[in-house]
A and B are shown apart, each in its own frame.
Chain A
Amino acid sequence: MEAPIRATEFLRFTLLSLLFFVCRSSPSQDLLISNAERRIDLTSHIVKVYLTLKVENAGSTPTSEILLAFPPTQVDHLATVEALVTKGKRKKTTLARLDVKPTELPDAPNGTKYFTIYLSNPLNSGESTTLEVLYLFTHSLEPFPAEIGQSESQLVYYRDSALILSPYHIKQQTTFLKTPSTKVESFTSVEPTNRAGTEMKYGPYEDRPPYSFSPILIHFENNSPFPVVEELVREVEISHWGNLQVTEQYTLVHGGARHKGVFSRVDYQSRPNLNGVSSLRYLLARLPPRVHSVYYRDEIGNISSSHLRTDSRKSELEIEPRYPLFGGWKATFVIGYGLPLQDFLFESSDDRRYLNFTFGCPLLDTVVDKLTVKVVLPEGSKDPSAVVPFTVEQHLETKYSYLDVVGRTVVVMEKKNLVPVHNSPFQVYYTFKPIFMLAEPLMLASAFFLFFVACLAYLHIDLSIRK
């Protein structure tokens, strides 16, 4: 039944790849990839691709930039790209992180997008180096059928190319795909293709020219729930009285195949292995250690199904939505907690203070479509600046909280398409004079003082006309 679709797609991609051949005008023909191995992990709804490239400089000039190419359909779903280089030999190998930046090239064929890896040491002529590249795709598994009943399992499509898209000549390449279960409905065969258990192997393919492309389509079962946070607003409020209050507002949706028709509780409860296997029953949030006053609620009150486990290194909050989430079902909720300030606030060498906190979403294995982190600095703090390991949109806001007069500066950072990899620390620097801490208590004290003075005055003033 899917044959016609696949046929047309196949045709289109072949045409595309032909086109690539025609208009090849690669930026640097000096480099070539002697060996490439790609492992694609399809077990969860975040597609993880581990790429090992052995790059050789066949040209005469040393180069320090290596390009990665992605087809335009994939680049929209690309959450992160990381590159590591192996240093040293044999047992003493260490990995060093390299800078990766998106790059625009003027003559990119068919809208190919590029990322440039900047090597720390230029690759001299004739030398070779091994790069480990990790990149993650979100929303790349397309449920098919798009709507399923309660008792059906979730099948998804994954589209990619059997050959690695690259502006360089690849001498030898292999692609491994790992599916969550052995149940694979169909897959495109590009000889040589092997399938054994949960793993599929495409390749090895020898001597492919730049921009080779060979589309493949895999239709397989993936019953893991697809938790997608459509919008997450994290507010981190710093109080110099010793508390860091975090409030996180979630809009959660199950991004898998849409639920269709009946939801029967009796089936769901009596046969949990057959019914609603892909439903989202609970989520795990990893919170910092020494967390206190944790709450989990939504707009109509407390949600009573959560467990908190704490130990000295981390806290785990297991939360259940009010109802199991089937494909397409939504839920909103708020998680809030307090943290001891000394774990997160430090003084920098130049007398400024900085907050060191985790950027991403504390829920495990979730995709966040849009994340807004708001750091509410105490009233009276100045010169805020944020240091984030990746590009974010930033602006400042003012928030009025308990008895504020001038308002608190809020550093707002926004980023789209996040995965758990983005849970890396960021810093917000600011200057703050401790005297401002006394402002509100003094204000209250003086207000009460004035009130009592007014009372006193009132009692001692006789405004009567007639004595």
Chain B
Amino acid sequence: MAAYRTNVISKEKGNFVVPAFLTPATTKSSLCSACSKSHTTNNGRLLLISLSSHWTIDWPSMAAPETSTAAVPTLYTNNTLRNAFGGVLSFFILLLIGVLAFSIRLFSVIKYESVIHEFDPYFNYRVTQFLTKKGIYDFWNWFDDRTWYPLGRVIGGTVYPGLTLTAGTIWWLLNSLNIPLSVETVCVFTAPIFSAFASLATYLLTKEVKGAGAGLTAAALLAMVPSYISRSVAGSYDNEAVAIFALIFTFYLYIKTLNTGSLFYATLNSIAYFYMVCSWGGYTFIINLIPMHVLLCIVTGRYSSRLYIAYAPLVVLGTLLAALVPVVGFNAVMTSEHFASFLVFIIIHVVAFVYYIKGILSPKMFNVAVTLVVSVGLAVCCAVIAVLIALVASSPTKGWSGRSLSLLDPTYASKYIPIIASVSEHQPPTWPSYFMDINVLAFLVPAGIIACFLPLTDASSFVILYIATSVYFSGVMVRLMLVLAPAACITSGIALSEAFDVLTGSIKFQLPGVSSDAGVDAGETSSDTTEARNDEVKAEKPEETSKDQFSKKSKKKEREHVEKPSAKSKVKTKAEKKRLLALPLEASVVSLLLLIVLGAFYVVHCVWAAAEAYSAPSIVLTSRSHDGLHVFDDFREAYAWLRHNTDVDDKVASWWDYGYQTTAMANRTVIVDNNTWNNTHIATVGTAMSSPEKAAWEIFHSLDVKYVLVVFGGLIGYPSDDINKFLWMVRIGGGVFPHIKEPDYLRDGQYRIDSQATPTMLNCLMYKLSYYRFVETDGKAYDRVRRTEIGKKYFKLTHFEEVFTTHHWMVRIYKLKPPKNRTRGKTKKSKSKTSSTSSSKRSGTERKNPWH
């Protein structure tokens, strides 16, 4: 088994070793002859033991080529055969994992339909449509005048283009092959395809860290981890879909460079990093995590030229490439998020220089030089750091964007930026959400971390750092659970694979037919020999790594050599462990079964989560009642109505949640949308929604708005409607326009819409638009979301008229009445009806209306 785990590392050639039970008997016998020869050269005692060692650790298969030249030809062919089998097997397992990752995400298509989900994906879809229609140059220069009216938005410069360009390229490729798939289809299936790629990347990364077994386990875990599924089901066409792949792949290439010290991989790493920067704002995680790891390596005395090669090109090339992305631009060198990488860049050079100096100077001279340099350098450093701190402190947000700040200080957002705090995915997660999103992985992660320490390599220390940081970040924001998921999968994969190794090893060890004494002996002696061999190979190691690697073939061969040492050390520990952890047969079988049950539980949970929890597109709702499935398709009903029955240049005002959908599905100009870049503009809409009718009309009229769209769930009990979001509108509005005060809308600190509600609440526009003529549906005006009868049942609208309400009342669209309709008599009447507070409020809002 150990051979399986170690040899597999030389993967390029497909050198997987099939576990012993898979190899034909003939192969085994020939192997025996070969290795017995090899062992006798080392140790005369080993003949008998090596026989048993086939059953236990199986290491001769990899040890033989190095030790005995005579044995090489036959052994080599046999090995190749076994490796080929292993390679094919792993290839098919990976293929199946890819298929699994793809198909588990199709529940949404099967249960609902092939449609874009939620909010942000609609924007991405719209951008992709634009890209495919107009081409790349128009895309970069796209100024979108259909959103943020009257400001507009420069899409090309403010969007992470990775996802769009990826899907656009796939579409273009398919169409140039005359496969006429629609842009929508391509967009819907981008996320599942990239999940399959992400599984592959996880396999590669984990294989670099702990071998192919762990790699396959981690890939299988990642293929169905619910946290990732939640963001990558078919139709969830969002940045994260491709970004997670890019993230894992960048990490893989970093580890690969770290293990090989190859500049080729370092360059690839920068390109992968560039793709990540294109795809997601989360790239800052990479550009902070990798420096942290480098620093860790330096501090723990693990500095090597490989580390330098892995890091320095990444910073230089990566930063240059990142600056090419318009949305990042000079941020790549100017914001605090990137400072860590530059600092570590300086440090690594200093360290490299010190190592170099150390190499050419005598120890005594070196000490003198150190004291000299340290005293001078300290002064310079202090000055530089002081300047840096002053620069950072002079900028208002201290150089950190709001979202990043809220990462460091979880209470930052809720204190200062209501617009960030109002988004549910920016809230800290609850404990159940951990169980929901990573399930049993949460228990396996600690075991995996321990496994990473045995032995601690550069790669495994990276995994430990990765899991530690991502656990912290996921604790800050629900959304970053997504970053945790791959880390959890990798560590859990390592844990599971190690546990399986130990358990199956112990079982094999005690299989009937093999004498237990021999087994124990084998364990001991083999560990001895490997140790001995290990030492000599370790000595070879630096030379081999330093060899240049031009030819592919020789490179492959070399890699085998290079990797074997580390493999060897694993074998050693494995053998030691074996001796220590030769568990009783019953215990191993039982724990093996328990592990399988655990895995089965995970699979069941993931399938359930994929099918039930995360597949709803949220624009179509279904409910199962006794008379079958009921579909609530109200959102699209309203958007389709807007699209076909309003003028093409009409402006539609709604809360920003529905901005992207309105532009994409209804093709109408909106005032605010989900790209919440302008707080004042959003606050204006929030103010309008929380103002009384006339003041709201004036604000909307000044913004050229023709229709107002509100989402109302009171009739059917749809909880995420505008009344439930209303307090955020008040808060955001009040944050900019102080005449909107949150306490005015709360009765004794409680948010309510029943008869106890405050008059301000009952007279605000949102209340009126939501509940207009609601009482006529059931006679009582019972709100099924708030589970209460509403406070004010009968009222008329004077400045708005209802133009469309969907079938289940979920979306209500009102039209602003033209100004001339305000006859004097009517306003007087309404003035006398409503309390004096509202009229005074009206005059107040008129004065403070920012658009006059």
Contact = CB atoms under 8 A, between A and B. Distances in A.
Contact of B551 (A303, A322, A465): A465
Contact of A464 (B115, B179, B552): B552
Nearest to A403: B178
A466 B554 contact: yes
B641 interface: yes
B180 A401 contact: yes
Give the contact-size bracket for chain B: 35 or more
Contact of B803 (A262, A304, A332, A405): A262
B721 interface: no
Contact of A300 (B640, B777, B802): B640
Contacts of A261: 801
A264 B644 contact: no
B551 A331 contact: no
Contact of A265 (B552, B639, B805): B805
A465 B115 CA distance: 52
Contacts of B554: 464, 466-467
| Interface class of chain A by DSSP | loop
Nearest to B805: A265
B431 interface: no
A416 B802 CA distance: 37
Contacts, number: 91
B411 to A, nearest CB: 40
Interface in A323-366: 323, 328-332
A400 B180 contact: yes
A451 to B, nearest CB: 14
A463 interface: yes
B639 A300 contact: yes
B631 A322 contact: no
A465 B641 CA distance: 68
Contact of B637 (A263, A323, A332, A401): A323
A330 B645 contact: yes
Nearest to A304: B631
B732 to A, nearest CB: 29
Contact of B773 (A266, A304, A462): A266
A303 B551 CA distance: 58
Interface in A193-237: none
Interface in B165-218: 177-180
A110 interface: no
B178 A323 contact: no
B804 A323 contact: yes
Nearest to B801: A262
Nearest to A298: B640
Nearest to B797: A262
Contacts of B643: 300
Interface in A411-467: 462-467
A262 B805 CA distance: 10
A4 interface: no
B579 interface: no
A403 B555 CA distance: 39
B409 interface: no
A270 B180 contact: no
A88 interface: no
B805 A264 contact: yes
B490 to A, nearest CB: 30
A462 B553 contact: yes
A467 B251 CA distance: 32
Contacts of A328: 645
Contacts of A330: 644-645
A404 B555 CA distance: 42
A322 B636 contact: yes
Given A402-B180, A462-B553, A303 B801 contact: no
Contacts of A323: 637, 640-641, 804, 806-807
Interface in B51-95: none
A301 interface: yes
Contacts of A467: 551, 554
A302 interface: yes
B583 interface: no
B804 A304 contact: no
A262 B373 CA distance: 82
B334 to A, nearest CB: 41
A345 B809 CA distance: 48
A184 B776 CA distance: 34
B640 A331 contact: yes
A402 B179 contact: yes
A463 B115 contact: no
B620 interface: yes
B802 A262 contact: yes
B690 to A, nearest CB: 25
B501 interface: no
A266 B802 CA distance: 11
A329 B637 CA distance: 13
Given A262-B803, A322-B633, A464 B551 contact: yes
Interface in A30-44: none
Given A300-B665, A323-B806, A266 B115 contact: no
A463 B644 contact: no
B640 A264 contact: no
Contacts of A303: 633
A377 B688 CA distance: 58
A270 to B, nearest CB: 7
B553 A464 contact: yes
Contacts of A400: 178, 180
A6 B177 CA distance: 64
Contact of B115 (A262, A263, A302, A331): A302
Nearest to B666: A300
Contact of B552 (A298, A403, A463): A463
Given A304-B633, A331-B644, A403 B177 contact: yes
B113 interface: yes
A450 B639 CA distance: 49
Given A262-B802, A322-B637, A462-B552, A401 B644 contact: no
Interface string B804-819: 1111010000000000
Nearest to A261: B801
Nearest to B619: A301
A266 B806 CA distance: 10
A262 B804 CA distance: 8
A332 B644 contact: yes
Contacts of A331: 640, 644
A323 B552 CA distance: 64
Contacts of A266: 773, 776-777, 805
A443 to B, nearest CB: 11
Contacts of B803: 262-263
B21 interface: no
B550 interface: yes
Contacts of A264: 773, 802, 805
Contacts of A404: 178
Interface in B534-561: 550-555
Contact of B620 (A304, A329, A401, A403): A304
Central interface residue in B620, B639, B777, B805, by most chain A CB within 10 Å: B805
Contacts of A466: 550-551, 554
A266 B115 CA distance: 30
Nearest to B554: A464
Nearest to B635: A300
A274 to B, nearest CB: 14
B178 A462 contact: no
Contacts of B637: 322-323
Given A302-B113, A463-B552, 9 more contacts: A263-B805, A265-B805, A304-B631, A322-B640, A331-B640, A400-B180, A403-B177, A404-B178, A464-B554
28 contacts: A262-B802, A262-B803, A263-B802, A263-B804, A265-B806, A266-B773, A300-B640, A302-B115, A304-B620, A322-B637, A322-B640, A323-B640, A323-B641, A329-B645, A330-B644, A330-B645, A331-B644, A400-B178, A402-B179, A402-B180, A403-B177, A403-B179, A405-B178, A462-B552, A464-B552, A464-B555, A465-B551, A466-B551
Interface of A: 261-266, 270, 298, 300-305, 322-323, 328-332, 400-405, 462-467
